[in-house]
Amino acid sequence: MTTKYIFVTGGVVSSIGKGICAAAIGRILKSRGLTVAVQKLDPYLNVDPGTMSPYQHGEVFVTRDGCETDLDLGHYERFIDIELTHNSNITAGQVYTQLLGEERRGVHLGGTIQTVPHVTNVIKEFMLRAQHEGSPDVVLVEVGGTVGDIEGQPFLEAIRQMRMAVGRRNTFYVHVTLLPYIGATGELKTKPTQHSVKELRAIGIQPDAIICRSDHPIPHSIKEKIALFCDVAPDAVIPMETLSNIYQAPLVLEQEGVGEILVRELNLATPNGSDLSRWEAMTERMANPHGPLPIAVVGKYADLPDAYLSVREALRHASLFHDRDVSIDWVRSEDIERDGPDAWLSHTLGIVVPGGFGSRGVEGMIQAVRYARERQLPYLGLCLGMQVMVIEHARNVLGLTGANSTEFDPETPDPVIDLMLDQRSVNDMGGTMRLGNYPCVLAHGSRAAKAYGTPEVNERHRHRFEFNNAYRETLYEAGMLASGLSPDGTLVEIVELEKHPFMVGVQFHPEFRSRPEQPHPLFREFAAAATHVMREGAQPELPMGNGA
Ligand code: GLN
């Protein structure tokens, strides 16, 4: 079958769930037995989001081959249950880096390098490459930003040209817009959508379907009006009300006929029809939990949950496995520094310290670790969360009161976490961390080995610092086991406490591999331990009252 292309653009405003819509379309296609590749085109000028603050960009999602990418790739992986690679994200920064490199090497000697055709060709080649990687039935391409953004223009021009490159019958354009609600008159307005489509058409793209996001029910008359003004078939104006659970998105879009329209318009061969029954059962279980599971996530960016998007989702998946609805208390580690851990953690049943960089708030994280260790509360440390677990143990169990990571105190007398050897010569900041999949061998009989059920695992990394082996023996004698090591035994990937219900720290990011129907084993066991605390009634006073 010829590979078909579906392009998803956004209109009116950003943050309306375009990425979720693209991911949901991917799931709808997969439920019909089709193979799907996904790409995100990001028009910003950074080469990748790895150098951006979470305040700018939210979470940096790491692929198995070590690319630092947009968080939408996390949605794609979770919804479609695929693993993505460098073929799934391109930025304007990458496009221009390639082109200017070619220009310096003389590839375009004698010519003038222009947005059209040179910039658009690089983008087009990137999209066309997706056909050759595993010959997917469908390539889904989401364009970042909103129609009308200056830097988005070459990307929109490139997807317009794709219609010629792969054939009109093989392309489909979906535009996701917002219908604002005017409270005074109680109406949804279509004008911004009309303007956005007009803008798109000025570039030469006529949308084949419009997904209308709204916080209110969308009456039929509004659908008809949009169909009329935007020249889209009435059944291709898809209402999409804000959902309480994003995992319902594929079900809603399917019910609104998106799957049927795509099959019809792209002439897709789907002999077995659609089967979303397992997905539906999963969302029903999510809607009917046996109770809440209060978990505290202690981090520097706790006021910005997008910074820890995959951690949040992994906790949801793991809680669902135990028929619980996770209720996350986002705790700013600096608040713990100011008020002490009791003020912020006394209602929680488990503590997670996620990844992070820089010294701000680290002492509060170390206090949270101590609280979990002393109160026998389940703890899961992710990357930085593992490193602070080691620092806390060295300080408060071994008595090395000045122990630290050289990231936070270069002069520390006990650098229990230190810069990796091959990072010492690194000067550039972008793309130079230890990134992507590396194998890890698990200690027989350890908590980690029991959780995974296999002797060796591959997990995704993003760090420069590591456990200092000079302290491995003494920390072991103090009850901290290095239960996961690189195959050559030199790099500590997992630590765990032997005398604790569940206290595990990992140098990698297991959150990236969690799926709603298949929680990550470490998150699953962490949630199991927290559920156990709840049953034992060890922690009083539910529901929680702080940190909202
Ligand atoms: N800042 C630490 C390091 O670079 C931890 C990184 C992380 O948590 N992703 O090693």
Q: What is the pLDDT of residue 538?
A: 54
DSSP state of 518: B
Cα(109)–Cα(102) distance, rounded to whole angstroms? 9
Q: What is the pLDDT of residue 537?
A: 62
Pocket test for ligand 1, best of 297, 423, 465 (most atoms within 8 A of CB): 465
User: Quick one: how far is CA 236 from the chain centroid?
Assistant: 29
Return the higher-pLDDT residue of 109 and 248.
248
Task: Say whether 66 sits in a helix, a strand or coil.
Answer: coil
Ligand 1 neighbourhood includes 403 CB (under 6 angstroms):
no
- Give the number of the atom of ligand 1 that is nearest the alpha carbon of residue 407: 1
Ligand 1 neighbourhood includes 356 CB (under 6 angstroms):
yes
Q: Supply 354's token pair.
A: 């996620």
Answer whether 72's CB lies under 8 Å from 40's CB.
yes
Measure 384 CA to ligand 1 centroid, in angstroms: 5
Pocket test for ligand 1, best of 391, 418, 463, 511 (most atoms within 8 A of CB): 463
HEC assignment per residue over 113-152: CCHHHHHHHHHHHHHHHHHHCCCCCEEEEEECCCCCCHHH
Q: What is the CA radius of gyration of the chain?
A: 25
- What residues are paired with 38 via a beta bridge? 140
The pLDDT tens digits for 466-514 are 999 999 999 999 999 999 999 999 999 999 999 999 999 999 999 999 9
The pLDDT tens digits for 83-112 are 999 999 999 999 999 999 999 999 998 999
Q: What is the pLDDT of residue 541?
A: 42
Q: What is the pLDDT of residue 532?
A: 87
Q: What is the pLDDT of residue 535?
A: 65
Measure 213 CA to ligand 1 centroid, in angstroms: 37
Q: What is the pLDDT of residue 472?
A: 97
Measure 391 CA to ligand 1 centroid, in angstroms: 14
Q: How many CB atoms neighbour CB 85 within 10 A? A: 17
Ligand 1 neighbourhood includes 172 CB (under 6 angstroms):
no
Ligand 1 neighbourhood includes 508 CB (under 6 angstroms):
no
Q: Give the pLDDT band (50/70/90) at residue 273.
A: confident
Ligand 1 neighbourhood includes 463 CB (under 6 angstroms):
yes
Cα(175)–Cα(25) distance, rounded to whole angstroms? 13
Nearest to 17 by CA among 178, 150, 209: 178
Q: What is the pLDDT of residue 540?
A: 41
Measure 371 CA to ligand 1 centroid, in angstroms: 22
Measure 429 CA to ligand 1 centroid, in angstroms: 13
CA distances (Å), origin 184, targets 181, 188, 214, 218: 9, 11, 17, 17
Verify cis geometry, omega within 30 degrees of 0, for the bond prior to 207.
Answer: no
Among 46-55, 208-217, 255-264, 284-293, name the one with the lowest average pLDDT: 46-55
| Angle, helices 120-132/153-166, rounded to nearest 10 degrees | 50
Kindly tell me if the per-residue pLDDT of 310 is higher than 70: yes
Answer whether 505's CB lies under 8 Å from 417's CB.
no
Ligand 1 neighbourhood includes 124 CB (under 6 angstroms):
no
The pLDDT tens digits for 313-331 are 999 999 999 999 999 999 9
Nearest to 362 by CA among 417, 295, 284, 430: 417
Percent of the chain with pLDDT strictly greater than 70: 97
Pocket test for ligand 1, best of 423, 429, 462 (most atoms within 8 A of CB): 462
Token look-up 């085109």 returns 41
Token look-up 């922690």 returns 539
Q: What is the pLDDT of residue 266?
A: 96
Ligand 1 neighbourhood includes 407 CB (under 6 angstroms):
yes
Average pLDDT, stretch 280-306?
Answer: 93
Measure 490 CA to ligand 1 centroid, in angstroms: 18
User: Which residue's alpha carbon is at the smallest distance from atom 8 of ligand 1?
Assistant: 355
Angle formed at CA 290 by CA 288 and CA 296, multiple of 5 degrees: 105
Kindly tell me if the per-residue pLDDT of 281 is higher than 90: yes
Answer whether 123's CB lies under 8 Å from 92's CB.
no
Q: What is the pLDDT of residue 547?
A: 34
Q: Supply 85's token pair.
A: 């690679």
User: Which residue's alpha carbon is at the smallest distance from atom 5 of ligand 1?
Assistant: 384
Nearest to 359 by CA among 298, 409, 396, 393: 409
Q: What is the pLDDT of residue 264?
A: 95
Ligand 1 neighbourhood includes 360 CB (under 6 angstroms):
no
Amino acid type, 228: L
List Cβ neighbours of 355 (8 Å cut-off, separation of 6 or more): 382, 383, 384, 385, 462, 463, 509
Cα(123)–Cα(115) distance, rounded to whole angstroms? 11
- What residues are paired with 171 via a beta bridge? 5
How confident is the prediction for the chain on average, in pLDDT?
94
Q: What is the pLDDT of residue 263?
A: 96
Kindly tell me if the per-residue pLDDT of 548 is higher than 80: no
Tabulate helix, strand, coil % of the chain (nearest 5). 45, 20, 35
User: Which residue's alpha carbon is at the smallest distance from atom 3 of ligand 1?
Assistant: 463
Q: Supply 242's token pair.
A: 């804000």
Kindly tell me if the per-residue pLDDT of 544 is higher than 50: no
Ligand 1 neighbourhood includes 357 CB (under 6 angstroms):
yes
User: Which residue's alpha carbon is at the smallest distance from atom 6 of ligand 1?
Assistant: 463
Percent of the chain with pLDDT strictly greater than 90: 88
- Give the number of the atom of ligand 1 that is nearest the alpha carbon of residue 465: 10
Token look-up 């060709």 returns 121
Ligand 1 neighbourhood includes 511 CB (under 6 angstroms):
no
The pLDDT tens digits for 366-394 are 999 999 999 999 999 999 999 999 999 99
| Angle, helices 220-230/191-203, rounded to nearest 10 degrees | 30
Kindly tell me if the per-residue pLDDT of 534 is higher than 80: no
Backbone angles phi, psi at 211, to 5 degrees: -95, 120
CA distances (Å), origin 336, targets 260, 369, 403: 52, 11, 20
Give the DSSP H/E element, type plus range, for residue 182.
Answer: strand 181-182
- For the beta sheet containing 209-214, the strands, ordered from the edge strand earlier in sequence to the opposite edge, are 89-91, 36-42, 138-143, 4-10, 171-178, 209-214, 237-241
Give the DSSP H/E element, type plus range, for residue 544.
Answer: none
Cα(97)–Cα(46) distance, rounded to whole angstroms? 10
Longest Cα separation, the chain = 76
Return the higher-pLDDT residue of 209 and 58.
209
pTM of the model: 0.94
Measure 355 CA to ligand 1 centroid, in angstroms: 6
Kindly tell me if the per-residue pLDDT of 422 is higher than 90: no
Backbone angles phi, psi at 287, to 5 degrees: -80, -15
Answer whether 4's CB lies under 8 Å from 139's CB.
yes
Ligand 1 neighbourhood includes 464 CB (under 6 angstroms):
yes
Q: Supply 337's token pair.
A: 């520094």
- Catalytic residue ranges: 383, 509, 511
Kindly tell me if the per-residue pLDDT of 546 is higher than 70: no
CA distances (Å), origin 158, targets 3, 42, 205: 17, 13, 11
Cα(511)–Cα(501) distance, rounded to whole angstroms? 21
Measure 386 CA to ligand 1 centroid, in angstroms: 9
Q: How many CB atoms neighbour CB 298 within 10 A? A: 31
- Give the number of the atom of ligand 1 that is nearest the alpha carbon of residue 356: 8
Kindly tell me if the per-residue pLDDT of 545 is higher than 80: no
CA distances (Å), origin 315, targets 55, 269, 458, 541, 548: 22, 37, 20, 22, 17
Angle formed at CA 438 by CA 434 and CA 440, multiple of 5 degrees: 125
Return the higher-pLDDT residue of 13 and 338.
338
User: Quick one: how far is CA 539 from the chain centroid?
Assistant: 31
The pLDDT tens digits for 60-81 are 999 999 999 999 999 999 999 9
Cα(107)–Cα(99) distance, rounded to whole angstroms? 9
User: Which residue's alpha carbon is at the smallest distance from atom 7 of ligand 1?
Assistant: 355
